[in-house]
Each structure stands twice: as structure tokens, then as C-alpha cells.
Amino acid sequence: MLFALLNGRVLGVSGIVYGLLDRDPHESGWRPAFWGGLMSGGLLLLLVYPQAFGVSPSRSLMATAAAGLLVGFGSRLGNGCTSGHGVCGVSRLSPRSIAATLTFIATGMLTVLSINTWFGGSV
């Protein structure tokens, strides 16, 4: 919300990462700056509230790598992720974002259900 008020953009983390991978020299440095803010926030959390971080013991490195590929590819094909569609888009009552959010929550739930049913909860 603050991001729209100040910089006039809808905040979407996947779009920001994608923009960093393929930089447009004509744009101001707001993407690296946002990324720097995220890193600094992470560092601050690490100092005062390290319990904020963790990894799941039920997910192997291989599963995590596959997950990263799907999240990266899917967020570009679907033009957004949990922040862009799930928070910003839904708040603007964008039909595309509402459909996207319902879709990724549904397939996420089905994925966890499948892992629990067929793989004993760990992959």
C-alpha cells in the first residue's frame, strides 16, 4: 500500500526479482533498492528475532530445488505471486488476481495433501 502511495506501483516480489534478472537501464534503481530493503529487514530479523527463520525438515534439497523452478516459472507465466496477486491484486478487486490466488492456494493444498497421502509427509 505504502509502495503505491510513494512510488505509484503495485508491489510484486516475483516481478521485482524478474526485473532484477533482466535490468532495464532506463529505470531508476527502485528494484535493487527494494531488494536491499528486504535484505536489511532480513538482517534485522536475524539480529533481534532469529526464530523468524527456519527450514522444513520434511522437505529435501531436491524437492526445494524443484519447488524453486516451479515458483519461478509459474510466477512469470501467471504474472504474479503471493504479494502481487494475493495481496495487491485482490485488494484492487482484480478478477485476474482473485482467480490466480484461488488457483495457487488450491494447487498448493492439493500438493501438500498428495505429499502427505503418498509420501508420508516428506519429500
Partner 1 sequence: MKSPLAAFVCGLLFALGLGIAGMTRPEKIIGFLDVTGRWDPDLLWVMAAAISVTTLGYRWTLRRDRPLVEAVFHLPKLGSLDVRLIAGSALFGVGWGLGGFCPGPALTSLVNGLPTVWVFVLAMAVGMKSYQWMSRRGVPGTASRQDA
Quote the least distance from Cβ 118 to partner 1, whole Å.
13
Quote the least distance from Cβ 69 to partner 1, whole Å.
4
Between 22 and 26, whose beta carbon lies closer to partner 1? Answer: 22
Compute the distance between CA of residue 113 and CA of residue 27 in angstroms, rounded to an integer: 43
Quote the least distance from Cβ 115 to partner 1, whole Å.
7
Consecutive H or E run containing 63: helix 61-77
Q: Give CB contacts under 8 A, 24+ apart, made by 47-52.
A: none
Compute the distance between CA of residue 107 and CA of residue 99 in angstroms, rounded to an integer: 12
SS3 labels along 66-110 = HHHHHHHHHHHHCCCCHHHHHHHHHHCCCHHHHHHHHHHHHHHHH
Quote the least distance from Cβ 97 to partner 1, whole Å.
7
